[in-house]
Amino acid sequence: MRRPSEKFGIEALDRLLGGGIAPGSAILISSEHPATNKGAYTRYFAREQLNRDEGRVFVVDYHYPPHHFFELPKLITGPSTLESVIEANRYYLINCYGSVTYPEPFSFKNAIIDVDKPNDIAKVKYVIDKAREDACEPNERARWVFDDITNMFITVGDEGKALRFFRMIFQKIKSDDDLGIFYLDRPAHSNQFISALENMADIIINLRVKEISSIFVPHLRILKNRYYGEQLISTEVPYTFTKDGIRIQTRMLGDFEVIKKNLTLTSEHNLEILGIKYLLVPQKQYIELVQSLYERLDYDEFVKVYYEIGRVAGNEFYDYLTSFYQTDEFTRPYALLRQAGIFGSGEIIAKTFDLNKGISIIHLMNLWTFKASNPIHQEAAGFCTAILEKITGDVWDTIETKCTATGDDYCELVSSPARELGFLNLDLQKTKDQLTIDSEGSLSLMGLRMLLMPRGTLMNIIESIEDLVGEDRATEIMYHAGERMALQFAKQISERFNIEGEAIFRAYAQIVGVRGWGITEIQEADLKTGYARVTLKNSILGTSMRQKHRESDALVAGVLAGIFEFITKQKIICREVKCIAKGDAICEFVAEPLTSKPEDTIIHP
């Protein structure tokens, strides 16, 4: 089986072909309806060659008068590029349409090779051989575009002669390691002619139209790729024509029908999909296996083992797909991660994906789960890490910040280069391991001096301030104290770990989550407008002031205002709209720019 080393010129089509085209291949595109616009594929096939520094393109034309053909450069490439490749003697039109009088002015005459007897297949073959011999350097490859087999057949007038001609042309293309594309209108020919031509062709692409909701939608299907057939993905997919060209509506391995089609049982009784061995495992049994590991291992050990399993799987998944499909599509990590979704792991949604800024936030919907006190999907985190590391060449880390096992509606994976997320990847045990005290009595965590303060002490401080200055003034003091603390925190975190935007808030939420302040989550955020809605579960302040029946988290409100001020570079006011101290289930905060609300709505000035 010869491995393809050429591209058709349409990324999605190359993927359907199994990765590309072997040199020496003859490609037959057959169509059953004018709406398939089969001629539009010429542009990509020719441009793939013309965009290189070498190689020629020859168009054998029975359809258009030559000067009309050159009036349609959009079929090949842009006008300026067309002129440059013709000037460089890289593009030729073999005129089998017949003798014509060219209009004046007409600047492309030197690119036209006339055939005086286009119905004489021996003559046409001679002109084609001579054109290639005169134009191409030794070992130089060419691409051949036979504009329309049907019009050629009408000119020749005999299917037997046409088949003999194409047999010679296919052999010539193979011996020169060229590529050729041939267009065929199926309704215009006998089944015997079509069958014989398909047997000779190396690649067959069938185009047809389906009527969907009274609209004719063109569809494409790969029927054959002789030199890469073992890995060929054959499924019918729709395509559309946009201002940017042909858009094939497919995602490789994104169609479950493709997976089922390629699921095979080998003679050794192994289940395989495209060469990879698989097992069909009931989800319930898999959950029981993971839950057993979770309950029997120390949590740190569970995380380590299961995360590494995911990393190994991610590395193998990446290596196989990129070597198998040979497409630039899989240089985009999200495109790779998305493929895992059709193996039963639920829907994968990218909420934030910016490798330049070093941040990836992935939501996993409907993922398997069981009840637990800690996040459990470490395999998914390891898988995601492996893909990102393969693409970027950097060391990444991934944390599950939301998990259905702990009561969230979905799972959330936050990834960033390890140098940036290292400080986030702290559970209580790691926090304790890094908490040190020196001979002078300084308690430190990651180089920062700390105080280990009983909750009662903090509440006594707040209540003493209220006794001295009154509740309203104390609220103002605590709000501004939180704001100043947050601005300092955000500045240090941003500079130290090179993060920005929403990642700064997530750093804050992860850190305070293992220091006793409660669980902080963004519910809504628009950093451009400065609006955010944040919830705080099990607030240390709210749960301690239930008897006061009023908003009690002024310190937290100030912190949130300060963080979003640093992120958005504008003055932010944060209001507590729900509070555990008032009887609400959670504390909820709304952050907005100072100018967005009237004065009387501002609780914390």
Dump pLDDT digits (tens) for 192-216.
999 999 999 999 999 888 776 566 7
Instruction: Name the nearest CA neighbour of 50 among 134, 128, 111, 129.
Output: 111
Please answer whether residues 93 and 69 qualify as being in contact, where contact means their C-beta atoms are separated by less than 8 angstroms: yes
Mean pLDDT on 102-115: 78
Tell me the three state secondary structure of residue 225.
strand
Q: Quick one: the chain helix, strand, coil %, rounded to 5?
A: 45, 25, 30
- The two beta strands, 359-365 and 347-354, are antiparallel
Q: Does residue 12 or residue 374 have the better pLDDT?
A: 374
Please tell me the distance from the alpha carbon of residue 487 to that of residue 493, in angstroms, as a whole number.
10
pLDDT band at 558 (very low <50, low <70, confident <90, very high): very high
**DSSP classification of residue 21:** B
Asked if 465 contacts 474 with a C-beta cutoff of 8 angstroms, the reply is yes
The rounded distance, in Å, linking the Cα atoms of 350 and 337 is 10
CA distance 442 to 420: 26
Q: Which has more confidence, 229 or 318?
A: 318
Confidence (pLDDT) at 371? 92
DSSP SS3 for 401: strand
Please answer whether residues 514 and 450 qualify as being in contact, where contact means their C-beta atoms are separated by less than 8 angstroms: no
pLDDT at 5 over 90: no
Which of the four pLDDT bands, split at 50, 70 and 90, describes residue 126? very high
| Assessment of whether the complete model's pTM goes beyond 0.75 | no
Query: Is the pLDDT score of 521 beyond 90?
Result: no
pLDDT at 170 over 90: yes
Report the side by side order of strands in the sheet with 411-417: 347-354, 359-365, 411-417, 396-402
Per-residue pLDDT, 75: 45
By the 10 Å C-beta count (0-12 exposed, 13-18 middle, 19+ buried), 466 is classed as middle
At 577 the pLDDT is 92
The per-residue pLDDT for 343 is 61
CA distances from 90 to 83, 84, 255, 582 (A): 10, 9, 40, 79
Buried (b) or exposed (e) across 179-217, using 16+ Cβ within 10 A?
A: bbbbbbbbeebeeebbebbeebbbbbbbbbbeeeeeeee
- Containing 351, the helix (H) or strand (E) segment is strand 347-354
Q: What is the mean pLDDT of the chain?
A: 78
Mean pLDDT, residues 164-189 taken together: 90
Tally helices (H) and strands (E) across the chain.
Answer: 19, 24
Per-residue pLDDT tens over the stretch 449-485: 777 777 777 788 888 888 888 888 988 998 998 898 8
What pLDDT score does 601 carry? Answer: 39
Q: 41 Cβ partners below 8 Å, 6+ apart?
A: 10, 29, 181, 246
Query: For residue 590, what are its two tokens?
Result: 């709304």
d(CA 448, CA 436): 10
> What tens digit of pLDDT does each residue of 275-304 get?
667 777 788 888 888 898 888 888 888 888
Structural domains of the chain in order of their starting residue, each with its CATH number: 11-250 (3.40.50.300), 283-422 (3.30.1380.20), 453-601 (3.30.1380.20)
The structure tokens 């042309």 sit at: 169
The pLDDT > 90 percentage for the chain reads 14
pLDDT winner (highest mean) among 11-25, 244-258, 340-354, 418-432? 11-25
Res. 336 pLDDT band, cuts 50 70 90 = low
Question: At 88, which helix (H) or strand (E)?
Answer: none
More confident residue, 3 or 83: 83
CB contact at 8 A, 91 and 50: yes
How far is residue 266's CA from residue 263's CA, in Å, rounded to a whole number?
10
Q: How far is the C-alpha of 214 from the C-alpha of 32, rounded, in Å?
A: 18
pLDDT at 72: 43
Answer left, alpha or beta for residue 583, where phi above 0 means left and psi between -120 and 50 means alpha.
left
The phi and psi torsions of 269 (rounded to 5 degrees) equal 65, 40
The lowest-confidence range among 15-29, 251-265, 499-513, 587-601 is 251-265
Residue 396 to residue 355: CA distance in whole angstroms = 11
Greatest pairwise CA separation for the chain in angstroms: 108
Cβ-in-10-Å burial (0-12, 13-18, 19+) of 256 comes to exposed
Q: Per-residue pLDDT for 12 more than 50? A: yes
Report residue 138's pLDDT band, with 50, 70 and 90 as the boundaries. Answer: confident
Q: Rounded to an integer, what distance in angstroms lies between the CA atom of residue 176 and that of residue 298?
A: 64
What pLDDT score was predicted for residue 208?
86
- Residue-level pLDDT at 144: 92
